[in-house]
Chains A and B, each alone.
Chain A
Amino acid sequence: MMQKQAVVINKNDNVATAVANLAAGSPVSFFIGQDVQQIVLSEDIPVGHKFAIQDIASNQDIIKYGEVIGSSLTAITKGHHVHVHNIQSNRGRGDRK
């Protein structure tokens, strides 16, 4: 069996989670429901980290588990790393007045 590369938890998600260290330039396949999709990564994605599976505009919801986990700080194109550098949490923000 081929080793699993990434997981999309809910069909509404706009990010996938890498379950192995994945290299920039490599094609990655994953299931969205029953359908297999393939994209080429623009950056190295460490195991456990997320990458965009769609182009995401700035200030859009980031969806994982079919739920909002934060919003984008910049536009994020498909295949890019999605993490604390380009998304923000919308909860527990005592720094915002």
Chain B
Amino acid sequence: MKFTGYLRPDGKVGVRNYLAIIPTSVCAGVVASNIASQIPKAVALPNQHGCCQIGADHDQTVNTLIGLGKNPNIGAVLVVGLGCEGVPITKVAEEISKTGKTVEVVIIQEAGGTLKATAEGVQKASRIAREISLIKPQEFPVSELSLAVECGGSDFTSGLASNPVVGIASDILVKAGGTSILSETTEFIGAEHILAKRGKSTEVGEKIFKIVNDCEQKAKLLNVDIRGGQPTPGNIQGGISSIEEKSLGCIYKAGSAPIEGVLAYGEIPQEKGLYVMDTPGQDIESITGMLAGGATVVIFTTGRGTPTGSPIAPVIKITANADTYSMMSDNIDLDASDIIQGVKSIEEVGQELFQEILDVANGKLTKAESLGHHEFGIYKIAPTF
């Protein structure tokens, strides 16, 4: 099994060839977006962060920006800083350039404001866009693929069919030597004992219990019942009664492979295989973490229907709810509702999904890509000061 991808200087392989324009603070977001709008295949990652953050929260933002720049779907990077923010602009650029990719920097306060910074950025970006256009796609074994598995707007069909289908596809990839990342720690609450048993070592199992306990304690500090936030009102309308029920359905996405390790938010795995990443259940922030961790294709199951895409990776969406598919076929790539009706098996649709992953890796646009969906958000773990 092979796919066509883009080889990066650090040996990693991407399925897309983007030029990323990364603002290092909220204040640089508009200039980054201005620059990206003028260059084909350039994507900006505007965000709310980068200043007045402290401690682990600051570090997480810095590491996430660096991880996103290192993502194999990115051919080259332009870092856009304001000049006085907390995120160290040159450190972000230097860390990303350790991959061997071309990284340029524009600093708004040094360039002389928005217009001059935009002009300088467009000039630099257009040069590196031409440079990465010379990277020819080549054939690679599927072991070079890295999946992010996500579920959003879950309903009863997620746990019964679409998540198990993703589990089959994830198992096929892991068996072939590839990488798959399961995230959304909130949605392990009540199912952590099952995941922990699948840890490669007792240490991995203990780490799974720890991240889930930490997540539950954080929720409890707010002195409310987690229900209403998790499961969401839509999950509840769709038949899910508790976080435990949601979690037990959620973890099917990770199939049955052993779990190699537990990653911090945005951490890049050192080996291949199945990993768990500690992220919130909020889809967009969770996906960002896995992309900073090097995932190149996102599989997204939905019950209620969601339009989610990503600026730097294809997002393949699948539902097993026939009504949702017919209402939102603009957004959803794969209809797995035959499983609910007993017409097709989970195994069969899992194989179909794996073929779809290969097609998308080979360049087929997902519905989210063809509609220009590029939702993006970074998880914060402390207040802004």
A residues with a Cβ closer than 8 A to B are 1, 3-4, 7, 9, 17-19, 46-50, 62, 64-65, 67-70, 82-84, 87-95
Name the CB-closest residue of B to A94: B220
* Known A-B contacts A7-B160, A48-B155, A67-B194; A92 and B220 likewise in contact (beta carbons under 8 Å): yes
Interface-lining segment among B97-105, B237-245, B345-353: B237-245
| A70 contacts B191, C-beta separation under 8 Å | no
Which residue of chain B lies nearest to A68 when distances are taken between CB atoms in the complex?
B244
- Contacts A89-B244, A94-B225 known; 5 new A-B pairs at CB < 8 A: A3-B341, A4-B342, A7-B160, A68-B244, A70-B242
Known: A93-B225, A94-B226. A67 touches B244 (CB 8 A): yes
**Tally of contact residues, B, Cβ under 8 A:** 34
- A94 and B229 CA atoms in complex are apart in Å by 13
The 8 closest A-B pairs by CB, nearest first: A92-B226, A48-B239, A48-B156, A89-B242, A94-B220, A69-B245, A70-B242, A49-B239
What are the residues of chain A within 8 A of B219 when measuring CB–CB?
A: 92, 94
Whether, in the assembled complex, B340 has its beta carbon less than 8 Å from a beta carbon of chain A, the answer is yes
In whole angstroms, what is the CA distance A17 to B219 when docked?
A: 29
Q: Which residues of A contact B159 (CB under 8 A)?
A: 65
Chain B residues close to A by CB (< 8 Å): 155-157, 159-160, 189-191, 194, 216, 219-227, 230, 236, 238-239, 241-245, 248-249, 303, 340-342
In contact, B239 and A70 (Cβ under 8 angstroms): no
23 A-B pairs in the complex with CB atoms less than 8 angstroms apart: A17-B156, A17-B160, A19-B160, A19-B341, A48-B239, A50-B239, A65-B245, A69-B242, A69-B245, A83-B241, A84-B227, A84-B236, A84-B241, A84-B242, A89-B241, A90-B244, A91-B243, A92-B189, A92-B230, A93-B220, A94-B222, A94-B224, A95-B224
Bound complex: CA of A18 vs CA of B216, how far in Å?
A: 30
Option from A1, A4, A48, A89 in Cβ contact (under 8 Å) with B243: A89
Q: Which residues of B contact A19 (CB under 8 A)?
A: 156, 160, 340-341
Report yes or no: A69 in contact with B244, Cβ–Cβ below 8 A.
yes
Assembly CA distance A9 to B160 (angstroms): 8
A50 touching B241, Cβ below 8 Å = yes
Q: Which of A3, A48, A88 has the most CB of B within 10 A?
A: A48
Given contacts A7-B160, A92-B243, contact A67 B248 (CB under 8 A): yes
Compute how far the CA of A1 lies from the CA of B338 in the bound complex, rounded to whole angstroms: 13
Closest to B219 in A: A92
A91-B236 CB under 8 A given contacts A67-B244, A70-B245: no
